[in-house]
Structure formats: structure tokens, C-alpha cells
Chains A and B, each alone.
Chain A
Amino acid sequence: KQEVTQIPAALSVPEGENLVLNCSFTDSAIYNLQWFRQDPGKGLTSLLLIQSSQREQTSGRLNASLDKSSGRSTLYIAASQPGDSATYLCAVRGSRLTFGEGTQLTVNP
């Protein structure tokens, strides 16, 4: 059974700092890995999708990497802003879509 772990569970940083969120998974037989953002009481917004054959994807200030053989992914956020405050979730697609428990990010002005 696929298990997904996200570290840290919570992170508080000052505005402008670069930061890294971590995601690890136990079964490397995946189709893709997706990073989501969730604001309180809302649904999930897709940030980045990395196919199993890819090493990284970039969108604006976000960069996600994937090392399938070691079962790891990182989400790098450059020059963080208060509007980045949210919970960030990673999900891996195998026979089903399995989520980690998320990292709650607070960016302080």
C-alpha cells in the first residue's frame, strides 16, 4: 500500500524567504506526482504536475522536483509572500491518488 509523508507538518517563515517542502512515498511505481494548495475551508488547487519520466517542473516562483527511485519530491518556493500562506499537499498517482497529510505554511509580513 502506498504511503505518502510530508515534512515538516507546519512551517512559519518571514516574508521573502526561500523555502523547501518535502514529500516522500514508499512505492516508486507511480504515474505522476502532483502538488496542491489548499486554503482554509476550500477545495484543492493544482500547482504543479510532474510526470514519472520528468525530474522537475516550474511555474513562476514554484519549482517541484521528483526523484522516483528514492521516492522523494520537493516543492521549492522562492521569495515567499504572505499570500503563499496555505496548506500544501502532495499526491502520488498509482492505481489510485494517494495524499500526504500536508504542510501548513505561514508567511509572516
Chain B
Amino acid sequence: DGGITQSPKYLFRKEGQNVTLSCEQNLNHDAMYWYRQDPGQGLRLIYYSQIVNDFQKGDIAEGYSVSREKKESFPLTVTSAQKNPTAFYLCASSNTGDTEAFFGQGTRLTVV
């Protein structure tokens, strides 16, 4: 099946810990995105990548880091510098330009 897989579905983080959220796609898409969604709010862009080994900050990149070593993978690390990480995280992919974007099923991160 072609698509985007996010794991884990639920993640719990202790104060001061770094955690990494996985996003893998087998759609052969060039571009990948990470969004954060808080209750009752829209999606805010954290980071995006349009090509392997290159990525750009979105609107709320502070406290997050990413890598894009492989076309199919775009992991997001939530660092201890992110003071309010509890949220729903969504990964998306598309080809560049005039094409449709597809989303994974999300990871819900909770700080305990």
C-alpha cells in the first residue's frame, strides 16, 4: 500500500527528554512537511523539506529539529528546548509544485 506512515501513534515524554517522531513515505514524493495541531486550532508548519539533505524552518521551528538523509524519511525531534510540546503532530508529503499533498495519521505527544 502506498502512503505515509507515522509512528508511534501515541508518545509520552518526560520533562527534559528529547523524543523523535517517525515519518516514512513510499509515494516517491520530493517534499515532506511537519505540522503541529493544538486543540481547536489549525495546522502550524514546523519544518519542511523539498529535497534530500535540505530543509527549511516553518513558522514554529524553535525547539524542534529534523533531518532528511533519505527521500522517504523525515524524522522530527522534539527537544527539551520546546517548552510546550503536548500536541498532535502531522506529517505530509507531496511532489513539488502543482500536486496533491497526503497526510499520515498523526502522532499524539503528551508530556508527563
Given contacts A46-B100, A46-B102, A93-B98, contact A41 B108 (CB under 8 A): yes
State whether the Cβ of A81 lies closer than 8 Å to any Cβ in chain B. no
Stretch of B13-21, B38-46, B60-68, B75-83 with 4 or more beta carbons under 8 angstroms from chain A: B38-46
Give the size of the chain A interface in residues (CB under 8 angstroms). 23
Inter-chain CA distance A102–B99, complex, in Å, is 21
Residues from chain B with a CB closer than 8 A to the CB of A71 are none
State whether the Cβ of A99 lies closer than 8 Å to any Cβ in chain B. yes
Given contacts A93-B98, A97-B92, A97-B94, contact A42 B105 (CB under 8 A): yes
- B105 x A93 contact (CB < 8 A): no
- B98 x A52 contact (CB < 8 A): yes
Residues from chain A with a CB closer than 8 A to the CB of B35 are 99
- B106 x A31 contact (CB < 8 A): no
State whether the Cβ of B90 lies closer than 8 Å to any Cβ in chain A. yes
State whether the Cβ of A108 lies closer than 8 Å to any Cβ in chain B. no
Q: How many A-B residue pairs have CB under 8 A?
A: 55
- B45 x A98 contact (CB < 8 A): yes
* Main SS class of interface, A: strand
- B58 x A51 contact (CB < 8 A): no
Inter-chain CA distance A97–B41, complex, in Å, is 16
Interface residues of A in 1-58 (CB under 8 A from B): 31-32, 34, 36, 41-46, 49, 51-52
State whether the Cβ of A64 lies closer than 8 Å to any Cβ in chain B. no
Interface residues of B in 76-112 (CB under 8 A from A): 88, 90, 92, 94, 97-106, 108
Residues from chain B with a CB closer than 8 A to the CB of A44 are 90, 92, 103
State whether the Cβ of A91 lies closer than 8 Å to any Cβ in chain B. yes
Closest 6 CB pairs of A and B: A101-B42, A44-B103, A43-B105, A99-B43, A31-B98, A43-B103
Chain B residues with a Cβ under 8 A of chain A:
6, 33, 35, 41-43, 45, 48, 58, 88, 90, 92, 94, 97-106, 108
